[in-house]
A and B are shown apart, each in its own frame.
Chain A
Amino acid sequence: IVMTQSPATLSVSPGERATLSCRAGQSVGSNLAWYQQKPGQAPRLLISGASTRATGIPVRFSGSGSGTEFTLTISGLQSEDFAVYYCQQYDNWPPLTFGGGTKVEIK
Chain B
Amino acid sequence: EVQLLESGGGLVQPGGSLRLSCAASGITFSNYAMSWVRQAPGKGLEWVSAISGSGGSTYYADSVKGRFTVSRDNPKNTLYLQMNSLRADDTAVYYCANWALLRGVPTPRLDFWGQGTLVTVSS
The CB with the most chain A CB atoms within 10 A, among B110, B113, B114, is that of: B110
Q: Which of B75-123 contact A (CB under 8 A)?
A: 95, 100, 107-116
CB-CB < 8 A to B109: which residues of A?
A: 33, 45, 48, 88, 90
The size of the chain A interface, using a CB distance under 8 A, is 22
Residue of B with least CB distance to A100: B44
Contact, CB under 8 Å: A94 / B61: yes
Partner of B100, one of A48, A96, A98, A99: A48
Contact, CB under 8 Å: A43 / B46: no
Partner of A43, one of B50, B60, B113: B113
Q: Is B11 an interface residue (CB 8 A)?
A: no
Contact, CB under 8 Å: B44 / A98: yes
CB-CB < 8 A to B95: which residues of A?
A: 42-43
**Alpha-carbon gap, A32 to B55, bound state (A):** 25
Partner of B44, one of A45, A48, A93, A101: A101
* Interchain nearest-CB distance for B110 vs A (Å): 6
A-B contacts, 11 listed (Cβ < 8 Å): A41-B115, A42-B113, A42-B115, A43-B113, A44-B113, A45-B109, A45-B111, A48-B109, A90-B107, A95-B62, A96-B108
